[in-house]
A = this chain, B = another copy of it.
Amino acid sequence: MTIQQPQTRIQKKNRETILDAALDVFSEHGFRGATLDQIATTAGLSKPNVLYYFASKEAIYTALLSGLLETWLDPLRAIDPDGEPVDEILAYVMRKLDMSRTFPRESRLFANEIVQGAPRILDQIEGPLKSLVDETSTMFRRWTREGRLAEIDPHHLIFSIWATTQHYADFSAQIRGILRSEGEEHFDVAADFLEHFYRRALVPSPG
Q: Which residues of A contact B (CB under 8 A)?
A: 28-33, 108, 111-112, 114-118, 122, 125-126, 129-130, 133-134, 150, 152-153, 155-157, 159-160, 162-164, 166-168, 170-171, 173-175, 177-180, 189-190, 192-194, 196-197, 200-201
A155 B174 Cβ-Cβ under 8 A: no
CB closest chain-B residue, reference A31: B33
Q: For residue A170, which residue of chain B has the nearest CB?
A: B115
Q: Are A174 and B114 in contact (CB under 8 A)?
A: yes
Complex interface: chain B residues within 8 A of A153 (CB): 189, 192-193
* Interfacial chain B residues near A108, Cβ < 8 Å: 115
Query: Judging by beta carbons under 8 Å apart, are B178 and A122 in contact?
Result: no
- Give me 20 other A-B pairs in contact (C-beta within 8 A), A29-B30, A31-B33 excluded: A32-B33, A112-B116, A114-B170, A118-B173, A126-B177, A126-B180, A129-B174, A130-B180, A155-B178, A156-B193, A159-B164, A160-B167, A160-B197, A162-B167, A163-B163, A163-B164, A163-B166, A163-B171, A196-B201, A200-B201
Contact between A177 and B129 (Cβ–Cβ < 8 Å)? Answer: yes
In the bound complex, do residue B125 and residue A156 qualify as a contact, i.e. CB atoms below 8 Å apart?
A: no
A124: min CB distance to chain B, Å: 9
